[in-house]
């Protein structure tokens, strides 16, 4: 198999043979080759236009960079990734560099690839055994496309415009908050309330939405705007009239989550997910892990009390009873789950001292967990990086608080388990096609005629992979959930 770096410009695909540095103008694409590119969505559209039946191996340089550089958005903004910015960061080119000769530029990209590969044997091993296989799955989904309902789509866009307008008016007239959609406005509010920033402004807003009415409205507005952007991109018909070919980034976040861009289907609220429909003879199956990150934390920390809560009961139900003193229902359980994640992300609850006392008393009983967390932070600070043991390590910025050290370990382990389950499902369940990977769940399109058997097979794989990676868990849970808001369009 030959390996090429490939890019599109001036209506042609140009390539560089990685082995011998041969520069090829108007490259003839072959499914037998391996391609590194920073133009994955364009490349896949080219394959579709040429009516490829089998797609070649494609390595997304954005994903490749995010894995091997081991840096987070505290050091540079991954959301605005660009190949030239990445080359400058690794000192392959300087700030005055301009592309004058395409071959020279592709040679710089080759140096960039080789430099990143030298960073870590653990990452190279993970790349070959996990990430390349994930690339194959997500690129296949992008190539084949996801079916959408145009009639539902048009109505959703009209309703979202109206909802956003009404909510912005509410901010202005009831709370005297103008331009609430701006990140600066939301950041200003959080700082005025003395809230601790947990990972990001948007993430902090999300975690505080159950305890602060303004944060709840900010969160709702953020979701509405994201949904509208996603649905408007669906209307652009990049994949044709009835299909969309989304752009996947296999190592999309610092914790290796798969991210879907253009359009961001993962972020659609359940109310708007019914634009996604199955092909004829197929149905949708959405599988979700239960107590996913809490269970991983229990296993890694080996805290007996937390393990017992996970194995025999429900840690979120325990939080509802012991901290909130409420009846257990869907809302109170979600509130407890958010609280658990706030603890995980390093919130100290300083803005509410009475509530802080309750939280501190509750978590103080998990003595082994507390020691595990403190030891992890100490060791990571000494090493200047968070070590996971399965690739996806993360360098620390020692000038920052690095409150996310525990969060990174847990979330990266979660994405590792999730990816292994996706790979095994792809290899063993041929009548299932991954459509949308979410944080701890996956939407599949499956054959209607053998649906129950296929569901059983996928669920079994997801549970077994979780059990294998977290052996201290008595019965890891993964079960079918509603993908849509209050109804199943297939029933």
Is the domain of 40 the same as that of 87? yes
Say what the pLDDT of residue 484 is. Answer: 86
pLDDT per residue as tens digits for the range 181-206? 999 999 999 999 999 888 789 989 99
Is the domain of 104 the same as that of 185? no
What H or E segment, with its residue span, contains residue 12? strand 12-17
Asked if the structure places residue 484 within a domain, the reply is no
Q: Answer with the one of 103, 119, 135 that is the final residue of a domain.
A: 119
pLDDT per residue as tens digits for the range 42-75? 999 999 999 999 999 999 999 999 999 887 554 4
Is the domain of 114 the same as that of 19? yes
| Containing structural domain, residue 194 | 149-241
Q: Answer with the one of 175, 208, 241 that is the final residue of a domain.
A: 241
Q: Answer with the one of 119, 141, 168 that is the final residue of a domain.
A: 119
- Whether the pLDDT of residue 399 is over 80: the answer is no
CA 360-364-366 angle, to 5 degrees, is: 135
pLDDT per residue as tens digits for the range 228-242? 999 998 887 655 678
Is the domain of 158 the same as that of 85? no
pLDDT-derived band at 138 (thresholds 50, 70, 90) equals very high
Is the domain of 154 the same as that of 115? no
Asked if the structure places residue 89 within a domain, the reply is yes
Asked if the structure places residue 383 within a domain, the reply is yes
Asked if the structure places residue 473 within a domain, the reply is no
Say what the pLDDT of residue 67 is. Answer: 93
- Whether the pLDDT of residue 415 is over 80: the answer is yes
- Whether the pLDDT of residue 140 is over 90: the answer is yes
Is the domain of 12 the same as that of 102? yes
pLDDT per residue as tens digits for the range 467-487? 999 999 999 999 999 998 643
Mean pLDDT lowest among 108-117, 302-311, 455-464, 477-486: 477-486
Average pLDDT taken over every residue of the chain? 91
Say what the pLDDT of residue 400 is. Answer: 66
| Upstream peptide bond of 263 is cis (omega within 30 degrees of 0) | yes
Asked if the structure places residue 273 within a domain, the reply is no
Is the domain of 235 the same as that of 308? no
Structurally, the chain folds into a number of domains equal to 3
Asked if the structure places residue 12 within a domain, the reply is yes
Say what the pLDDT of residue 488 is. Answer: 37
Asked if the structure places residue 411 within a domain, the reply is no
- Between CA 293 and CA 295 the distance in angstroms is 5
Is the domain of 113 the same as that of 13? yes
Asked if the structure places residue 205 within a domain, the reply is yes
| Distance spanning both ends of the chain, measured CA to CA | 46
Looking at residues 288-295, what average pLDDT do you find?
A: 93
Is the domain of 184 the same as that of 101? no
**CB-based burial label for 465 (10 Å; 0-12, 13-18, 19+):** buried
Is the domain of 227 the same as that of 181? yes
């Amino acid at each position: 198999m030959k390996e090429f770096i490939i890019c599109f410009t001036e209506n042609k695909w140009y390539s560089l043979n990685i082995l011998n540095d041969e520069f090829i103008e108007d490259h003839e694409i072959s499914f037998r080759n391996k391609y590194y590119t920073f133009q994955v969505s364009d490349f896949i559209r080219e394959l579709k236009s040429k009516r490829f039946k089998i797609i070649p191996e494609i390595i997304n340089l954005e994903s490749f960079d995010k894995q091997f550089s081991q840096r987070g958005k505290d050091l540079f903004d991954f959301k605005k990734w660009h190949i030239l910015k990445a080359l400058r960061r690794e000192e392959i080119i300087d700030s005055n560099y301009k592309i004058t000769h395409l071959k020279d530029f592709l040679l710089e990209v080759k140096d960039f690839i080789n430099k990143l590969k030298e960073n870590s044997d653990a990452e190279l091993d993970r790349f070959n055994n996990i990430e390349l296989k994930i690339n194959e799955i997500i690129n296949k989904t992008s190539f084949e496309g996801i079916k959408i309902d145009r009639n539902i789509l048009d109505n959703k866009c009209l309703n979202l415009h109206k909802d956003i307008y009404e909510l912005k008016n509410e901010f202005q007239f009831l709370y005297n908050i103008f331009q609430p959609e701006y990140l600066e406005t939301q950041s200003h509010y959080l700082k005025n309330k003395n809230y601790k920033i947990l990972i990001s402004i948007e993430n902090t807003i999300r975690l505080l939405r159950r305890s602060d009415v303004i944060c709840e409205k900010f969160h709702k507005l953020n979701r509405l705007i994201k949904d509208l952007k996603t649905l408007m991109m669906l209307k652009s018909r990049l994949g044709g009239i009835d299909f969309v070919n989304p752009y996947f980034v296999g190592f999309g976040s610092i914790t290796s989550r798969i991210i879907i861009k253009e359009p961001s289907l993962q972020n659609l609220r359940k109310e708007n997910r019914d634009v996604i429909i199955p092909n004829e003879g197929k149905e949708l199956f959405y599988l979700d892990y239960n107590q996913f990150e809490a269970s991983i934390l229990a296993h890694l920390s080996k805290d007996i009390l937390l393990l017992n809560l996970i194995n025999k009961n429900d840690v979120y139900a325990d939080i509802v009873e012991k901290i909130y003193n409420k009846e257990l229902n869907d809302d109170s359980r979600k509130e407890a789950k958010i609280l658990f994640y706030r603890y995980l992300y390093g919130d100290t609850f300083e803005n509410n001292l009475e509530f802080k006392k309750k939280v501190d008393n509750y978590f103080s009983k998990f003595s082994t967990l507390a020691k595990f967390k403190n030891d992890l932070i100490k060791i990571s600070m000494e090493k200047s990086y968070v070590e996971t043991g399965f690739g996806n390590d993360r360098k620390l910025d020692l000038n920052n608080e690095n409150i996310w050290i525990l969060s990174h370990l847990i979330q990266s382990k979660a994405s590792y388990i999730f990816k292994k389950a996706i790979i095994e499902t792809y290899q063993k369940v041929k009548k299932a096609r991954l459509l949308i990977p979410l944080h701890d769940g996956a939407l599949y399109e499956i054959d209607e005629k053998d649906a129950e058997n296929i569901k059983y097979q996928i669920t079994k794989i997801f549970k077994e992979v979780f059990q294998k990676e977290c052996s201290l868990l008595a019965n890891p849970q993964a079960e079918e959930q509603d993908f849509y808001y209050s109804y199943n369009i297939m029933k």
